[in-house]
Amino acid sequence: MATTTTRRSRSKQPQWTSRAVLRDVEAGSTVDCAHCGERVKFQAKLRNRQVICNVYQNGIWERVDHYHAECYDLAKKPHGDIVGPLDQRKSPSPSAIANAAASAAANASVAS
């Protein structure tokens, strides 16, 4: 009796793409802006912001680019729109989001 083998279908891996996020400049930052070439500096009395971009080429991670927040707009957003919350301090925690969703679902079932 012959045995048969079945092929397992492999799930296709997601294609990684470049993305940009907005973050505060942290103390000790030693990176240069990819647009203007100047240092992205931390200043205690100012709340400077930077755009950090994970850059992928053909789905493979290549580098991280840093921009002054203003320079990213001047460079015409080379890695797309900024994703995620723009102010980390004001964004809810994942557990707060889950609790809010559970409350909304409970309220919806009670109302119907």
Contact (CB, 8 A) for 55 and 64: yes
Asked whether residue 84 is assigned to any structural domain, the reply reads yes
Asked whether residue 8 is assigned to any structural domain, the reply reads no
The total domain count for the chain is: 1
Question: Smallest Cα–Cα separation from 41: which of 51, 49, 74, 52?
Answer: 49
Asked whether residue 36 is assigned to any structural domain, the reply reads yes
What pLDDT digit, counting tens, does each position of 70-86 carry?
Answer: 999 999 999 999 988 76
Residue 39: give the domain boundaries: 19-105
Asked whether residue 1 is assigned to any structural domain, the reply reads no
Asked whether residue 5 is assigned to any structural domain, the reply reads no
pTM of the model: 0.64
Give the chain's mean pLDDT.
82
Asked whether residue 74 is assigned to any structural domain, the reply reads yes
What pLDDT digit, counting tens, does each position of 43-63 carry?
Answer: 988 889 999 999 999 999 999
Distance separating alpha carbons of residues 63 and 46, to the nearest angstrom:
28
Contact (CB, 8 A) for 34 and 67: yes
**Comparing 50 with 15, which gets the higher pLDDT?**
50
Mean pLDDT is highest, among 6-20, 46-60, 88-102, for 46-60
Asked whether residue 3 is assigned to any structural domain, the reply reads no
Asked whether residue 110 is assigned to any structural domain, the reply reads no
